[in-house]
Structure 1
Amino acid sequence: MRIFRMFVLPLTLLLCSGAALAADGLIVLESNHSVAATADKLEAVLSANGMKIMNRIDHAAGAKSADMKLRPTVLVIFGNPKVGTPLMQCAQSVAVDLPQKALIWEDESGQVWLGYNDPEYLKTRHAIEGCDPVLAKVSGALAKFAKAATH
């Protein structure tokens, strides 16, 4: 698995730039903007669609405070109880993965990426049953938000 993460996944991301990829439960999109601009665009589209922004964590700033270096890396935490609660009613353990998160980072070549949890992965991870319409709605919304933030 380590070889996969070190070589195959980065090669796949390089070859499929611009496409949405899913690996180990993470959907990843290439961004046309900086990390900060992508995070700003994401927050704007989330707010415009009734999502509450719960936090924005600048991991690079945290690293700097510990006298360490990290390329720009931002985590945006967001959600809406009207969406999350029905998922938790189907499988309460999904609460460990809620609220939703989007990670935006700059790789070693300067390319910016946005990644978020694949709802289908959450379905499998938490053995969610009877919530396919809710999961489909979440999948569509997350894809829409990510596309708006990265283009």
Structure 2
Amino acid sequence: MFERGLLGVALILIATAASALGSDGLVVSTSPHGVAETADRAESAITERGLGVFARIDHAAGARKAELELPPTELLIFGNPKAGTRLMQCSATVAIDLPLKLLIWEGADGVTQVAYNAPVWLDARHGLGDCAAVLENVEKMLSEIAAAAAE
């Protein structure tokens, strides 16, 4: 009976992880705050961890300049050049997905969404080999940043 209970818990955890990680490699969560406040919170969480924010792109502002409409949508580009360079030394193609990115947007239902590329997806895409060992720490950090943005 105990083994069956553990199996049930494991299946629930796998199903939960699968729903958070889409087939496109994105981990998506929601925030109770608006896009700008969520992005501000994420930016603070990033800098508190000693990472650099290289850019904050307001896609909705760009759309307005082009006389188009887009719900609030911001992209934070951030990272640590020392860690990123080590990954690029293992596989040059990972540079297309670095620095790290956090996308924050208002969904059609008005709910703020937060998304990032799952590090396991980066390994699958770029074959990072032994370098993939650091991705567990990257996943933990990204998860913490997304959670801090939505607190």
TM over 0.5: yes
Query: 4+ runs of 1 displaced by more than 6 Å?
Result: none
> SS of the counterpart of 1:123?
helix
Deviations 1:10-40 (Å, cap 9, x if unpaired)? xxxxxx8xx9711111100111110000000
Which residue identity lines up with residue 70 of structure 2 in the other structure? Answer: L
Residue in structure 1 matched with residue 57 of structure 2 by the alignment: 57
The offset of 1:82, in angstroms, is 2.2
| Cα distance in 2 for residues equivalent to 1:124 and 1:115 | 18
* TM value normalised by structure 1: 0.85
Which residue identity lines up with residue 20 of structure 2 in the other structure? Answer: L
Matched, 1:129 2:144: no
The offset of 1:132, in angstroms, is 3.0
Q: Is contact 1:20-1:30 (8 Å) kept?
A: no
Identity of aligned residues (%): 48
| Cα distance in 2 for residues equivalent to 1:95 and 1:69 | 31
| Cα distance in 2 for residues equivalent to 1:148 and 1:84 | 22
Deviations 1:62-99 (Å, cap 9, x if unpaired)? 00011110000000000111221221122121011110
| Cα distance in 1 for residues equivalent to 2:114 and 2:145 | 11
Q: Which has the higher helix share?
A: 2
Aligned residue pairs: how many? 134
| Cα distance in 2 for residues equivalent to 1:93 and 1:66 | 32
Give runs of aligned pairs for residues 78-89 of structure 1, distance below 5 A: 78-89=78-89
Residue in structure 2 matched with residue 92 of structure 1 by the alignment: 92
| Cα distance in 2 for residues equivalent to 1:149 and 1:83 | 23
Q: Is contact 1:86-1:134 (8 Å) kept?
A: no
Residue in structure 2 matched with residue 21 of structure 1 by the alignment: 20
| Cα distance in 2 for residues equivalent to 1:133 and 1:126 | 14
Larger Rg belongs to: 2
| Cα distance in 2 for residues equivalent to 1:69 and 1:99 | 28
| Cα distance in 1 for residues equivalent to 2:136 and 2:68 | 40
Residue in structure 2 matched with residue 148 of structure 1 by the alignment: 148
Which residue identity lines up with residue 40 of structure 1 in the other structure? Answer: D
| Cα distance in 2 for residues equivalent to 1:47 and 1:147 | 15
> SS of the counterpart of 2:140?
helix
| Cα distance in 1 for residues equivalent to 2:136 and 2:86 | 13
Give runs of aligned pairs for residues 100-115 of structure 1, distance below 5 A: 100-115=100-115
> SS of the counterpart of 2:120?
helix
The offset of 1:47, in angstroms, is 0.5
| Cα distance in 1 for residues equivalent to 2:122 and 2:42 | 21
Residue in structure 2 matched with residue 5 of structure 1 by the alignment: none
